[in-house]
């Protein structure tokens, strides 16, 4: 069996400038554990990914404020 047969077809994205809480809500809304982070230019290039593990380890365990704007981190 190929990976393509079992993978999720939903590709949810996030902007690098949004808050952690907004990203977490988008993951919940789309029932995914990963968001593709996109830039602001067109076409929007992928600049990275953020996972539910990133949120748990870097935000919650790191005691970051999920509502703090990225420019203040």
CATH class of segment(s) 6-67 = alpha beta
Q: What tokens does 16 get?
A: 């690098």
Domain boundaries, the chain: 6-67
Band of residue 71 on the pLDDT scale cut at 50, 70, 90: low
Per-residue pLDDT for 69 more than 80? Answer: no
Q: What is the pLDDT of residues 8-58, one digit of tens each?
A: 788 899 998 899 999 999 999 999 999 999 987 777 788 999 999 999 999
**pLDDT score at 54:** 94
Q: What is the DSSP string of 9-40?
A: ----EEETTS-HHHHHHHHHHHT-SEEEEE-S
């Amino acid at each position: 069996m190929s990976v393509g047969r079992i993978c999720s077809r939903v590709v949810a994205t996030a902007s690098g400038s949004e808050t952690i809480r907004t990203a977490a809500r988008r993951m919940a809304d789309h029932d995914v554990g990963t968001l593709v982070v996109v830039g602001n230019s067109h076409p929007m290039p992928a600049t990275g990914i953020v996972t539910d593990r990133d949120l748990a380890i870097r935000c919650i365990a790191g005691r970051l404020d999920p509502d703090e704007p990225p420019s203040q981190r």
